[in-house]
Amino acid sequence: MTWQTFLFILVAGGAFGYSGYRFSILIRLLKAQKGQANRLDQIPARIGTTILNVLGQKAVLQKKAVGIMHATIFWGFIIITIGTLEQFVSTLYAPANFEFIGHTAYSGLVFIQDILTVLVLAAVGYACYRRYIVRPEALGKSKDADLVLAFTASLMVAILLMNGFHILSASPWYQDSMPFSKMLAMILAGMGFGPGSSHVLWLVFKWIHMFLVLGFAMYIPGSKHLHVIAAGPNTFFKTIPREKGMRPINFEDEKVTQYGAAKVTDFSWKDTLDYYACTECGRCQEVCPAHNTQKPLNPKMLIKDLKENLYRNKEKVLAGKYDEVTSVIDENVTDDVIWACTSCRACEIACPVFIEHTDKIYDIRRNLVMMESRFPAEAQTIFKNMETNATPWAFSSADRGKWSEGLSVRTMAEDPKVDVLLWVGCAGSYDDRNKKVLRSFSTLLKKAGVKFAILGTEEQCTGDPARRIGNEYLFQTLAKANIETLNRYEVKRIVTACPHCFNSLKNEYKDFGGNYEVFHHSQYIAKLIGEGKLKPTKGVDETIAYHDSCYLGRWNNVYEDPRQSIQAIPSARLVEIKANHDKSMCCGAGGGRMFLEEKIGKRVNIARTEQALETKASIVAAACPFCMTMITDGVKAKEMSDKVRVMDIAELVDQATP
């Protein structure tokens, strides 16, 4: 045994032992979580998404420059680690190396490693430029990041120097496959280093490199750089479909006595994996409508704070003393943080490692509402209205069908043999502005010869606002009543003008026995135009900016149908708001916030309206009743009502269709 072997066993054994111990604690913490998450379905899809997003770096590359930087470092580390492994092996047993893969292959490997070492160094340079010169707000200051960058740069420099001195001292046969190291060797030779001193310095830098790697291994478990281990699994275990519903609670199960998350341990193992995977890149923060309007919610900090809460309670969790674990609501994660969320999901879509922020907020809300009756006072009125009149607004359920007076719209009770059920929703039923949208849409359906009916007084709120605010019990009461009605009429197809109803009916009712083919009206209109049943031939000579609804776009990936409907109108000019599609900004009304007061910071709807007004469009097109209300209010507040109108897709197409 050489001194190198001996030293390596000692140092590596210690380092990996310590690192392994720290990882074992992380795994025990993860396994100690009480919540449930089943993420072992759809294995082929999981493998696919992992390949695409880990190896292919797809989500990271949503942002170009920084994505390329990350992909370079990622691939650099993968390939360079092969060399590091080889180094470990040959240190343990000198004759062993990876040259058995063949002369050409080995030359190729060495070549790529050499190139990547320099590219990684360049990428770290860009990262430093960004972090210390450009300084985007979302990155913030981080000692952890400083250290990781220093680590990475030092590793690459050590590799280059090690290889340079190796070439000088040993002239390995593959030296011509290492252009940068070879160049460095020539420079070093020019500086007067001979074979003897080079051998010593090769050894020095080889050991510096190994110490750095082992130090890194010990450092990672306690750092945000834990993402190098956790991001892969987190991608594999992500929620696969874009159209995800909220997780139902089984109220029949008498063993369950805690609803929602009162403590950090009430979340699932997957939530803990989310904390581990977070590398604090701040992409969520950049797109959060709450954060961008000075609300205390910052999705990045939420994840970091929950992680710190878990770490603070580490001893108690590991000892199984769940009773002593402190509340999930603390000085960082306050009630205001939790109530600021509009559930727009911009954070989740932006997240390169698929952290699911909204589920955590929902779980905390569920505990606050159902266990502690602690919520903004306005919500109580909403709940009571929904309980007694099945609508968040104070209107009688007897008046639900009134919007259609004079249109001779039939109810399912009158004629259940229809092509499609028109689900009106509470806004369409009671809100004066949105009643007009429903009138336009039903007129359009008639123009297209579609046989449809409504439920009239039998329709109830889908329960979406209650569910998003955290009142799962009330949601399920309403959902089950609606499903009973829908199934009684054997409803197969539903069309609705409300993306929130659409999302509930399509993605959430199936958990309670309601399976329907559900269309948003923008999809249905696009379909009718496509089939030639609707012919918008009259021109609408206007510039129209389409505002994406979160529950249509980010939650259900419906982006093109509303745009196609507008583009089908002769002489209408569709323009995009700067933030559009996945990057669109919420109007401020999702997540139940439609019904809550907005007391902190700038109003979200004003911020979004300003973005829409920047386009100079004369019409802002909406496809959601809540967006309609919020943007209309925004236009009024900006005193632009005489220049800019807010209209629904259905109204535009109706106007263009003779």
Partner 1 sequence: MNIYVCIKQVPDTETKIKLNSDNTGIDTAGIKWIMSPYDEFAVEEALRLREKNAGSTVTVLSAGPARVVEAIRTALAMGADHGIHVEIPETADSNMSAKALAGALKKEAKVDIVFTGKEAIDDGAAQVSQLAAEYFGIPCVTVVLGVEYGASLKCKREIEGGAFEMVETPLPAWIAAQKGMNEPRYASLPNIMKAKKKEVKALKAADVGVADSDQKIRFKNFELPPPKQAGKKIAGEPAAQAKELVRLLHEEAKVV
Interface with partner 1 (CB under 8 A), residue total 23
Give the amino acid at 524: Y
Applying CB under 8 A, among 191, 323, 377, 432 the residue interacting with partner 1 is 377
630: CB partners within 8 A, 6+ apart: 587, 588, 589, 594, 604, 605, 608, 609
Structure tokens of 298? 């910052």
Query: What is the CA 238 to chain-centroid distance, rounded?
Result: 10
Considering beta carbons, is residue 177 or 429 the nearer one to partner 1?
Answer: 429
546 is a contact residue toward partner 1 (CB under 8 A): no
Residue with tokens 């160094």: 121
243 is a contact residue toward partner 1 (CB under 8 A): no
Applying CB under 8 A, among 176, 243, 324, 372 the residue interacting with partner 1 is 372
Applying CB under 8 A, among 4, 62, 397, 655 the residue interacting with partner 1 is 397
375 is a contact residue toward partner 1 (CB under 8 A): yes
Considering beta carbons, is residue 47 or 394 the nearer one to partner 1?
Answer: 394
CA dist 169 to 38, 195, 197, 238, Å?
56, 4, 8, 50
CB of 371 to partner 1, least distance (A): 6
Considering beta carbons, is residue 50 or 389 the nearer one to partner 1?
Answer: 389
641 is a contact residue toward partner 1 (CB under 8 A): no
Applying CB under 8 A, among 74, 193, 259, 339 the residue interacting with partner 1 is 259
Check: CB of residue 33 under 8 Å from CB of residue 267: yes
List 517's β-bridge partners, or say none: 493
285: CB partners within 8 A, 6+ apart: 137, 138, 291, 298, 299, 300, 301, 347
Considering beta carbons, is residue 201 or 369 the nearer one to partner 1?
Answer: 369
62 is a contact residue toward partner 1 (CB under 8 A): no
CB of 259 to partner 1, least distance (A): 6
Of the listed pieces 265-273, 301-309, 325-333, 386-394, which binds partner 1 according to CB under 8 A?
386-394
Closest among 526, 538, 535 to 656, alpha carbons compared: 538
User: Checking DSSP bridges between strand 543-546 and strand 517-520, what pairing results, if any?
Assistant: unpaired
Of the listed pieces 270-278, 381-389, 537-545, 559-567, which binds partner 1 according to CB under 8 A?
381-389
CB of 13 to partner 1, least distance (A): 52
Contact code string over 332-371 relative to partner 1, x by CB under 8 A = -------------------------------------xxx
The size of the chain, in residues, is: 658
411 is a contact residue toward partner 1 (CB under 8 A): no
480 is a contact residue toward partner 1 (CB under 8 A): no
Query: What is the CA 371 to chain-centroid distance, rounded?
Result: 28
Considering beta carbons, is residue 165 or 430 the nearer one to partner 1?
Answer: 430
Q: How many CA atoms lie within 13 A of 411 on its CB side?
A: 14
413 is a contact residue toward partner 1 (CB under 8 A): no
Q: What are phi and psi of 367, to 5 degrees?
A: -65, -45
Applying CB under 8 A, among 171, 294, 380, 557 the residue interacting with partner 1 is 380
250 is a contact residue toward partner 1 (CB under 8 A): no
CB of 359 to partner 1, least distance (A): 19
CB of 252 to partner 1, least distance (A): 11
Sign (positive or negative) of CA dihedral 123, 126, 132, 136: negative
Using DSSP, state whether 559 is helix, strand or coil: coil
473 is a contact residue toward partner 1 (CB under 8 A): yes
Alpha carbon distance 53, 59 (integer Å): 6
399 is a contact residue toward partner 1 (CB under 8 A): yes
Alpha carbon distance 452, 432 (integer Å): 22
Considering beta carbons, is residue 141 or 374 the nearer one to partner 1?
Answer: 374
Considering beta carbons, is residue 243 or 372 the nearer one to partner 1?
Answer: 372
Considering beta carbons, is residue 372 or 560 the nearer one to partner 1?
Answer: 372
165 is a contact residue toward partner 1 (CB under 8 A): no
CB of 418 to partner 1, least distance (A): 25
Considering beta carbons, is residue 93 or 251 the nearer one to partner 1?
Answer: 251
CA dist 228 to 81, 148, 292, 334, 605, Å?
13, 12, 29, 30, 38
Considering beta carbons, is residue 65 or 377 the nearer one to partner 1?
Answer: 377
398 is a contact residue toward partner 1 (CB under 8 A): yes
388 is a contact residue toward partner 1 (CB under 8 A): yes
Cα 528-533-536 angle, rounded to 5 deg = 85
Structure tokens of 623? 């496809």
CB of 370 to partner 1, least distance (A): 4
Go through 289-313 and write b for each residue having 16 or more CB atoms within 10 A of its CB, e for each that does not: bbbbbebbbbbbbbbbbbbbbbbeb
List 620's β-bridge partners, or say none: 545, 646
Alpha carbon distance 93, 513 (integer Å): 63
- Residues forming contacts to partner 1 in the complex (CB under 8 A) are 251, 257, 259, 369-373, 375, 377, 380, 383-385, 388-389, 394-399, 473
